[in-house]
Structure 1
């Protein structure tokens, strides 16, 4: 026998499935409260000076939002809506990933290595991303199948870059793009920052964005 759920139960289920107000918060000039304080803290940490962290979305906070939106190629309306907040969250996480990766500069290369005692290329990437709560597959060819595919010209810091060292299109190496035409990865000489010269560009296969 089929049991029909009372309409009130279905209504409650539907409401609980909706985003909360906090999740969908849109902050603009005149907004106040804890969400504004969090926004101001993040902008100050990222170098977009918005004045004191007072929980008041005033002219200085709006100016910081506008500058950030311009730098990120977003709609410049001075409103911290979902798109702007997502871009800020990604920038913050990117800085944390790059900072974490750089703490392992000089760590030796070990084939199959997945710890600071020694890394291989995919073990290094997996370890750094896991530290930020992002779980990736173990080997580079599998890592190259997750996330959003990104073209070379659209690279942003934090994207993973995949290479075919045999130049046959088969992924066999990975590094973390850190901007300025460079990536950080576990190479034969250990963890180091590498310049994307013609050698690497000719072996590039795809990039992936995982957060």
Structure 2
């Protein structure tokens, strides 16, 4: 069973305005896109189940392994990206042949929250350009199930 989307969205919105900081995950002080998803995990589910190893910042990274998706698959509920709705965590492939390297949380059918370099945590429209980049989608598990 998955976490209540309204609770996920409220937790994510609490991070709005948090400055961008590579590989950080501290509300109000700094986070990157993965740090935002990790912080919401801590608010919704509890303690993080694993340490996150250092990772590269390059959105255009090419490789055979979808490392971010593999990690999410271990702890979250994977769904078809076409079924992703509010409260879903989506992974974006920023380059056509690249691996998924950016994370956002859907807040509505046409909006999402993410941490973006120079802008920090923002909520913005899920434009067609963003929609077509969604490669994977996941739900936070319900901590009570």
The structure 2 residue matched to 1:206, chosen from 123, 136, 140, is 136
CA RMSD of aligned residues (A): 2.3
Using the TM superposition, give the Cα deviation of residue 136 of structure 1 relative to its aligned residue in structure 2, in angstroms. Answer: 6.0
Larger relative contact order, structure 1 or 2 (CA cutoff 8 Å, min sep 6): 2
| Cα distance between partner residues in 2 of 1:164 and 1:113 | 21
The equivalent of 1:159 in structure 2 is 88
The equivalent of 1:187 in structure 2 is 116
Q: SS at 1:145's partner residue?
A: helix
The structure 2 residue matched to 1:113, chosen from 8, 12, 24, is 24
The equivalent of 1:14 in structure 2 is none
| Cα distance between partner residues in 2 of 1:103 and 1:148 | 23
Pair 1:172–1:136, CA change in 2 (3 A): farther
| Cα distance between partner residues in 2 of 1:143 and 1:118 | 22
| Cα distance between partner residues in 2 of 1:168 and 1:199 | 16
Structure 2 contact 45–140 (Cα < 8 Å) conserved: no
Q: Which structure has the greater CA radius of gyration?
A: 1
Moved more, 126-135 or 181-190: 126-135
Structure 2 contact 17–122 (Cα < 8 Å) conserved: yes
Moved more, 201-210 or 147-156: 147-156
Give the ranges of 4+ consecutive aligned residues of structure 1 lying more than 3 Å apart after TM superposition: 134-140
The structure 1 residue matched to 2:12, chosen from 101, 106, 110, is 101
TM-score (norm 1): 0.51
Using the TM superposition, give the Cα deviation of residue 191 of structure 1 relative to its aligned residue in structure 2, in angstroms. Answer: 0.4
Residues 117-138 of structure 1: per-residue CA shift (max 9 Å, x gap): 1100001110111112253663
Question: What pairs up with 1:6-85 in 2 under 5 angstroms?
Answer: none
Q: SS at 2:91's partner residue?
A: strand
| Cα distance between partner residues in 2 of 1:166 and 1:96 | 31
Give the number of the structure whose residues are more often helix, by fraction.
Answer: 1
| Cα distance between partner residues in 2 of 1:206 and 1:169 | 13
